């Protein structure tokens, strides 16, 4: 049984990760702001009891990260898989993230959630990650962060650049943590129908995407640390 910490676990991809890993018999720490208010998580908690722990976590808040670490540390001394899934599409731009309509405050918000928070989560939980068994850190990224694939005129400056920066965080962490046999990758889930904005026409549903990602995670080896994959296991360009 693996101990798995998932951020942004109340809906969309995060909730589907919780669902599928629970069915596999793993122990899950489902992190989100006010998780008790989400009916799906409460139903899973009543079904899986001790296999699922709901953790109140605001990934951008240091005090909240500290409290989550203390709570989890009372239950286990190791985390085997960390899935940095929490993310936002817009920082408050109201769908106007294009030249002539940019606000630096929006960039600050989206970078705090999408780029800075995953690094801070790794730093905080590093003692538990070092104690894990075949530890893996999964940063949920996006093809929008692929610099070499950026050819269309479509705005998206803050989201795309936050994911490109997250990819650099992944690469840097992979170098620093390789001596501890910790595998770190960025993972593109595909274009998935979720509660995130602008996904209504997406061709994938969470179940299909997460099934693919879980299969990839299960087969990851340390030789693949620092790489960028999609949900089907194909290596992505930076």
What confidence tens digit (pLDDT) does each residue in 217-233 have? 999 999 999 999 999 99
Is CATH 3.90.1150.10 correct for 3-230?
no
pLDDT on residue 93: 46
Q: What per-residue confidence (pLDDT) applies to 31?
A: 97
Given a contact cutoff of 8 angstroms between Cβ atoms, the answer to whether 87 and 109 are in contact is no
Which residues, given as ranges, of the chain have pLDDT below 50? Answer: 93
Q: Where are the domains of the chain?
A: 3-230
Q: Which residues are CB-contacts of 54 (< 8 A; sequence separation ≥ 6)? A: 30, 32, 35, 36, 41, 45
Phi and psi of 4, rounded to 5°? -125, 125
């Amino acid at each position: 049984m693996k101990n798995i910490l998932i951020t942004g676990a109340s809906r969309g991809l995060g909730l589907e990760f919780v669902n599928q890993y629970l069915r596999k018999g793993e122990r899950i720490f489902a992190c989100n702001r006010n998780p008790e208010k989400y009916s799906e998580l409460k139903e899973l908690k009543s079904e899986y009891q001790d296999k699922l722990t709901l953790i109140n976590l605001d990934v951008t808040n240091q005090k909240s990260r500290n409290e989550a670490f203390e709570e989890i540390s009372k239950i286990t001394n190791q985390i085997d898989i960390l899935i940095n899934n929490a993310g936002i599409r817009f920082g408050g731009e109201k769908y106007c993230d294009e030249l002539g309509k940019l606000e630096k405050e929006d960039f600050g918000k989206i970078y705090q959630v999408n780029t800075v928070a995953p690094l801070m989560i790794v730093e905080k939980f590093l003692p538990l990650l070092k104690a894990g068994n075949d530890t893996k850190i999964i940063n949920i990224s996006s093809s929008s962060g692929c610099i070499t694939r950026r050819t269309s005129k479509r705005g998206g400056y803050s989201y795309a650049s936050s994911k490109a920066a997250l990819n650099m965080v992944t690469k840097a962490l992979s170098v620093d943590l390789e001596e501890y046999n910790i595998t770190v990758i960025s993972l593109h889930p595909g274009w998935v129908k979720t509660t995130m904005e602008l996904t209504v026409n997406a061709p994938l549903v969470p179940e299909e995407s997460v099934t693919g990602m879980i299969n990839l995670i299960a087969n990851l080896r340390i030789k693949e640390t620092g790489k960028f994959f999609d949900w089907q296991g194909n290596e992505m360009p930076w």
